[in-house]
Amino acid sequence: MIEERFDAIVVGAGMAGNAAALTMAKRGMKVLQIERGEYPGSKNVQGAILYADMLEKLVPDFREDAPLERHLVEQRFWMMDGKSHTGLHHRSEDFNEEKPNRYTIIRAQFDKWLSSKAQEAGAIVLCETTVKELVQDAYGKVIGVITDRDGGQVHADVVVLAEGVNGLLGTKAALRERPTPENVALAVKEMHFLPRETIETRFNLKGDEGVVIEAAGTISAGMTGMGFIYTNKESISIGIGCLVSDFQKTGETPYGLLERFKKHPSVAPLIEGSEVKEYAGHLIPEGGYKAIPQLYGDGWVVVGDAAQLNNAMHREGSNLAMTSGRIAGEAIFQVKSRKDPMTKENLALYKKMLDDSFVIKDLKKYKDMPALLHIQSQNFFLTYPQLVNKALQNFVRVDGTPKIEKEKTTIKSFVSARSWGGLFGDAFRLARAWR
Amino acid sequence: MTTEAPVRVEDKLYQNRYLVDVGNAHIKVKPHTKPSPELLALLKICPAHCYELNSNGQVEVTPDGCVECGTCRVLAEGGGDIEWSYPRGGYGVLFKFG
C-alpha cells in the first residue's frame, strides 16, 4: 500500500469523485482516489444525460475528446395508459448549435475519460480497491481510510466521500443515516443495440442528433416512478424506476415492470429487433432537499448521490454530483491555502458555497414535491394518465357524437374519478409544491 | 396483464460480466425461522432475483448475480435481517456500459 500521506483522499470515481479529484489535483494538491471497480465507471450506472455547462466548468474543451453519444435535439414527455400515450414534444433546430447543451453518454466510458483528466492533473487513482472503514482519531476527526489491500491504511487531511447513493462508509461511521425506502428509487435499465441508421430512422434523426423520452403513467402501476428511453449512437438505453417503498407495498418486480414498459405498443416498435447487451439496477436519491444529510464534519465532506443531491423533477443527478464535487474541491483548496486545519468549522465553507449555487437553490424550490408525488402517487401515476388519454382519444375520434356531448363525457369522467374538490385540491397542491 | 409469462431475470443477468469472489458472499441473511415482511419483500424487489425461499420457508441469498444496487440494504439491513458489504475490490459486477 502507499505509505505517504495525502492532502485529500477521494472515495469513489463517479461524477462527484472525479470532479473533486480533478479540481484539487489541478490546484497542485496531493490527491489519492480510491475506486472499487476494475476501472473508473465499471460500477456506475446512469440513464444517462450529460449537461454541458457543469462539465465545462471542469474540462472547458471536453468536446474535443470526451466520449459523447448524441446531442439532444428533441425531448418527449409521455403520459401513458395501457395502450396509449399523450405527449408533449419539444424539438428545435436551435439545439444543433456549435456547442450543444445536452448529450447522451455511456457512463462506463465517460467516467473512465473524466478520470483520465484527473490523472493527467496529478491525482493518483487506485482501482480494484474497496474502502472498508474510515479512520477517526480520538476526537472523531476523520484522518484516513482502511482499504481491503494488505496493510491498507492511508492517511490524509481530508476525506471526500463520493461513494454513491448506497454509501456504506458514511453510515458505518455514523456521519449520516442509511437512505430510507421512501427516499430512494430503484431503477433497472437495459442497453439495446441497433444499427445507427435504424435508430436514426425510428427517431427521425440525422447524424449525431438524439432524442430522449421521459414517460410516466400506468406503466409504473400506480407507484411513484418514471420510464425513460434515451438514444445513443448505436444503442438505446431503456429503463424504469420507482420508489423502493412503493415496490415494497405493491410486490411488483422491477424486471416485470421493465418488460411491460418494453411491450407497450408505443415503445415496442422503437426497440424491435435489438440485441440486449447489459442489464443494470441502481438506486436513485429521490428525497430532495429534505433528505440532504449533514454535508461536512471534522476531516470529511460528502458529495453527489451519497449526499442525496439529485433533482428528480429535472432529472439532474450527475451534474449536481459534478458540481458538488467541484465545489467541495474548491472549498478544501481554499481552507488548505489559508493553511487552516480541515475542521468542521472550516469545511462549513463547502456548505456555504453549495447553498449559494444552483444545486441547493433548485432542490429547495422543489422541497415539497417528493412528499406530494409519493402521497398522491395513485392519482398522478394512474388516475390522471388514464383520464387524459381517454379525454384526448374522445377529442380526436370523430364518430358523429355531438361535440358538446363529448365534452360532457370528458368532464364527467374527471369529476367522477376525482370530484371537483379533489381536482382543485390536486391542482392547488401541485402548484404550491412547484413554487 | 394477468396472462403475461413470468420474466426470467436469469436471462437478463446472463448478458452481464461478473467476477465472482467464490466463498466470499458480500451479502448474508441472518439465520431465522420465520422471515420478516422485509425479507419476504426481497423475493420480489431484488432486481437480480438473488433472494429465494428454501424448502423450510426461510429466505436465502445467492449474490452471484447481484448488480450492487443496495435495495436490499435499504429495506432489510436496519432491522438486522441481512448483513451488507461491498464485494472486495475488483470483484462483483463489471458494467461495460453502466
Read off the pLDDT of residues A189-200 as tens digits, 9 standing for 90 and up: 999 999 999 999
Residue A251: φ, ψ to 5°: 70, 15
Give the whole-angstrom CA distance, residue A15 versus residue A281.
18
Q: Say whether pLDDT at B77 is over 70.
A: yes
Query: Quick one: pLDDT at residue A425?
Result: 87
How many other CB atoms are there within 10 angstroms of residue A13's CB atom? 30
- Over range A30-54, report the average pLDDT: 97
Which is nearest to A237 in space by CA: A315, A159, A134? A315
Percent residues over pLDDT 70 in chain A: 99
Check if CATH label 1.10.1740.10 holds for domain B26-88.
no
Which is nearest to A76 in space by CA: A263, A227, A235? A227
A147 near A34, Cβ under 8 Å?
yes
Q: How many helices (H) and strands (E) does chain B have?
A: 3, 6
Lowest mean pLDDT among A42-51, A115-124, A388-397, B50-59: A388-397
Q: Read out DSSP for A154-187?
A: EEEEEEEE---TT-HHHHHTTSSPPPPTTTEEEE
DSSP state of A46: -
In tens, the pLDDT along A237-261 reads: 999 999 999 999 999 999 999 999 9
Q: Read out DSSP for A218-230?
A: GGGTTSSEEEEEE
> What three-state secondary structure class fits A332?
helix
Hey, are the CB atoms on B70 and A251 less than 8 Å from each other? no
* Residue A331, all three cell numbers: 472549498
CA distance B83 to chain A (A): 12
A113 near A66, Cβ under 8 Å?
yes
| ipTM rounded to 2 decimals | 0.95
Hey, are the CB atoms on B98 and A254 less than 8 Å from each other? no
CA distance B52 to chain A (A): 14
B63 contacts chain A (CB < 8 A): no
- Over range B64-88, report the average pLDDT: 97
- Over range A162-178, report the average pLDDT: 97
Amino acid at A228: F
Peptide bond before A174: cis, by omega within 30 degrees of 0?
no
Nearest to B88 among A46, A148, A235 (CB): A148
A45 near A192, Cβ under 8 Å?
no
Measuring CA to CA, how many Å separate A365 from each of A141, A300, A370, A377? 33, 27, 11, 20
Query: Quick one: pLDDT at residue B4?
Result: 63
Strands (E) in A318-391, as ranges, are: none
Hey, are the CB atoms on A281 and B45 less than 8 Å from each other? no
Query: Quick one: pLDDT at residue A2?
Result: 59
B27 contacts chain A (CB < 8 A): no
Give the whole-angstrom CA distance, residue A51 versus residue B2.
41
Q: Which one has a higher pLDDT value, A145 or A432? A: A145
Q: Say whether pLDDT at A151 is over 90.
A: no
> Which residues in chain A have their CB less than 8 angstroms from residue B13's CB?
279
Q: Say whether pLDDT at A129 is over 60.
A: yes
A169 near B85, Cβ under 8 Å?
no
Sign, Cα dihedral of A362, A363, A364, A370: positive
First to last CA, chain B: 30
In tens, the pLDDT along B17-50 reads: 999 999 999 999 999 999 999 999 999 999 999 9
Query: Quick one: pLDDT at residue B1?
Result: 47
- Over range A9-13, report the average pLDDT: 98
Beta-bridge mates of residue A6: A156
What's the pLDDT band for A93 if we cut at 50, 70, 90? very high
Hey, are the CB atoms on A279 and B15 less than 8 Å from each other? yes
In tens, the pLDDT along A261-313 reads: 999 999 999 999 999 999 999 999 999 999 999 999 999 999 999 999 999 88
Hey, are the CB atoms on A128 and B90 less than 8 Å from each other? yes
Structural element, H or E, at residue A355 = helix A344-355
Give the whole-angstrom CA distance, residue A151 versus residue A83.
59
Amino acid at A292: I
Q: Tell how far CA B28 is from the center of its chain.
A: 10
Lowest mean pLDDT among A291-305, A317-331, A413-427, B11-25: A413-427
- Over range A221-234, report the average pLDDT: 95
Give residue limits of the domains in chain B. 26-88
> Which residues in chain A have their CB less than 8 angstroms from residue B71's CB?
184, 186, 244, 247, 281, 283
CA distance A346 to chain B (A): 32
How many other CB atoms are there within 10 angstroms of residue A212's CB atom? 22
* Residue A288, all three cell numbers: 430532495
CB-based contacts of A127, cutoff 8 Å, min separation 6: A13, A35, A36, A37, A38, A39, A40, B89, B90
Can you list the alpha helix ranges (DSSP code H) found in A204-276?
A: 244-250, 254-263, 268-271
Structural element, H or E, at residue A317 = none
In tens, the pLDDT along A359-416 reads: 999 999 999 988 888 888 888 898 999 999 999 999 999 999 999 999 999 999 999 9
Query: Quick one: pLDDT at residue B3?
Result: 57
Query: Quick one: pLDDT at residue A245?
Result: 96
DSSP state of A316: B
CA distance B70 to chain A (A): 6
Q: How many alpha carbons fall within 13 Å on the CB side of residue A225?
A: 31
DSSP state of A111: H
Query: Quick one: pLDDT at residue A3?
Result: 62
Nearest to B71 among A244, A251, A279 (CB): A244
Give the whole-angstrom CA distance, residue A160 versus residue A240.
30
